[in-house]
Amino acid sequence: MAADERLDAGRHHLDNGIRALRQGFLDESRSHFEAALIQFRGPELRLGEAHALRGLAEVELHGGNVQMAEQAVRGAIVQYAEVRNQLDRIDPHQISHELRRDAEEGEAAAHVLLGEILLRVGRAEEARSMLAYGQELFGGLGDVPSAAGAPLAMARLCMRESRWDDARSEVRKSVDILARCGDTAGQCGAWLLAAEVARLAGDLEEAERVLGNATRLADETRQPALMGRSRSQQAGLLAQRGRLNEALSTYDESLKRIREAGEAELEAFALLGRGDVRSRLDDHTALLDLVEGARLLAQLDHRHGLGAALLRLAEHAVRIGLPAWGLAASEGARQAWQVTDPRRGVGQVLRIQIKALAGLKKWPAVVTVAHARAALVGDTQPNAVEVREFYRDRAPVGLLTELDLMDAEQLQLRGESMVEALLSPLVTELDLDFQALGTPGGAMAVINALARSTPPPAMQRASRPSAPPEPEEAEAAPPEEPRNASAYDDLYAPPAPFAADDEESGDADDLDATTEHGAKDDGA
């Protein structure tokens, strides 16, 4: 309602209240005066502000700006609560039922969004508390599509903790809510997450079955974005199974749909996935996909996605025999994820850093980073412990004695300082500050330099080792278990529009380890 209309409505209720009072109709008069207060004090204006803040928080979260996202959503929560308090004061008889319900649903959704944000930065217990409270608030609203967001977020939390059965249970709750609400698009998004849970749990048959169901629902919606996203996930699963040529053609199909939808974020992640497959196929066009995906994410200021792009590029650089650039790109990913994904994401980064350092034959740094990774994520990425033990058996006793006296934070700091020292000449050449490698500008500087440094395809093949590896490289470390999380489960994709909209998601792919030559294949 426009301001002038609200003023006219308030005056109308005033006149009717005065008339009813003079005629002795006290209850009717009270209702009119209360309605006039609602119009003049305008709780709907405050509600609009809350909705806008929540929308801004979603924008910032999609872009990876988690601090700004948290600030915005906390502001929205304050405004939603104030709307309810205001209505309690001026509308005790709840004649503005729709306005109150809108505020309650918005507040519940805001708490779920805050839980998503806290989960992104690794504050798991705070996230759990916010998600539980959001579920409690939704419990009083009955079946609304947006209520499915709470169990979906809780499923992501369970995934972070490798609690696969609990994650499946939470996704099932979400699917049930969306089915009762008749939200086909929302069900598709939930099934896509269910497929990711199955994949990360190692049940590839179940993942394939669920993805088939999600794809069917996506086709029913005729929404190109959902159709592209489901096929992108199918391609990632095919790649994990080693069916790389099928994965490549499926990514091609996915990108056609995604580009039709104009979804730059989904396009970027599909390009990263296709680039990784091409890299594993020794296709020299891999770099084109990886660089283009990274540039799209940089243009979107998508900090978390840019970390994923840098990690893909680091893997590619190590594969083609450029471990120094692999180390630089992986360090950029580590810096980008130090805030947005400080455990799982950084754990995956350290996996690649171990490969790059081994490729450079910097064995003290290899051993140190292997210890840092095991201390950080050994409970959720078990192969990290195996890799640490592999290198412990081959490390000098003096180094191990020193490392054994350090806690997890000290190990990380030691590893970071060793990487910084090794990258110092390269960073100086790029005229960058070391701490800027994880920023969009620094990341693109590294990516462009990597592209310039990449030799022609024939030289790449010639540079790969054909002779037996040196003795210290002869044994490969334990292979990685196929549980590398994708960025998909980090992308906030609410299953329903804003509660205020009465008319009424990001993909990325797995970061699977692949076997390379020599001791740099820690598989970690």
Bin 512: left if φ > 0, else alpha if -120 < ψ < 50, else beta. beta
How much is the pLDDT for 2? Answer: 62
Kindly indicate the confidence band of residue 479, based on its pLDDT and cuts at 50, 70 and 90.
Answer: low
Q: Are residues 341 and 304 in contact, defined by beta-carbon separation less than 8 angstroms? A: yes
For residue 470, pLDDT over 60 is answered with: no
339 versus 146: the higher-pLDDT residue is 146
pLDDT tens digits, 431-443? 999 999 998 899 9
Predicted model pTM? 0.76
- Residue 495's pLDDT band (boundaries 50, 70, 90)? low
Alpha helices per DSSP H over 91-163:
97-120, 124-139, 149-160
Q: Using the predicted structure, report yes or no on whether residue 323 has a pLDDT greater than 50.
A: yes
Closest CA to 198 of 494, 491, 488: 488
Among 39-48, 202-211, 477-486, the minimum mean pLDDT is found in 477-486
DSSP 8-state secondary structure symbol assigned to residue 430: T
Per-residue confidence (pLDDT) for residue 95, from 0 to 100: 64
pLDDT tens, residue by residue, 264-322:
889 999 999 999 999 999 999 999 999 999 999 888 878 778 899 999 999 999 999 99
Closest residue by Cα to residue 276 from 236, 217, 336, 326: 236
Residue 375 has pLDDT above 90, yes or no: yes
Q: Provide, rounded to the nearest whole percent, the portion of the chain with pLDDT above 70.
A: 84
Asked whether 374 and 385 are in contact (CB, 8 A), the reply is: yes
pLDDT band for position 478 (cuts 50, 70, 90): low
pLDDT score of 86: 82
Instruction: Check whether 377 has a pLDDT greater than 60.
Output: yes
The predicted-structure confidence for 72-96, as pLDDT tens digits, reads as follows 999 999 999 988 888 877 777 666 6
Q: Which of 71-80, 86-95, 200-209, 453-462 has the lowest mean pLDDT?
A: 453-462
The answer to whether residues 438 and 334 touch, using CB atoms and an 8 Å cutoff, is: yes
**Cα separation values, 416 from 333, 353, 380, 407, Å:** 13, 10, 21, 14
Residue-averaged pLDDT of the chain? 84
How far apart (Å, rounded) are the C-alpha atoms in residues 128 and 513?
Answer: 30
pLDDT at residue 211, as a whole number? 95
pLDDT band at 25 (very low <50, low <70, confident <90, very high): confident
* 343: pLDDT strictly greater than 90: no
Rounded mean pLDDT of 451-461?
72
CA nearest to 305, candidates 475, 486, 151: 486
Looking at mean pLDDT, say which of 301-310, 343-352, 492-501 comes out highest.
343-352
Nearest CA to 72 among 100, 105, 114, 112? 114
For residue 492, pLDDT over 70 is answered with no
Q: What is the band of 516 on the pLDDT scale with cuts at 50, 70, 90?
A: very low
Average pLDDT over residues 161-178: 92
Q: How far apart are CA 178 and CA 155, in angstroms?
A: 15
pLDDT of residue 458: 52
Alpha helix positions (H), 23-65: 26-41, 43-62
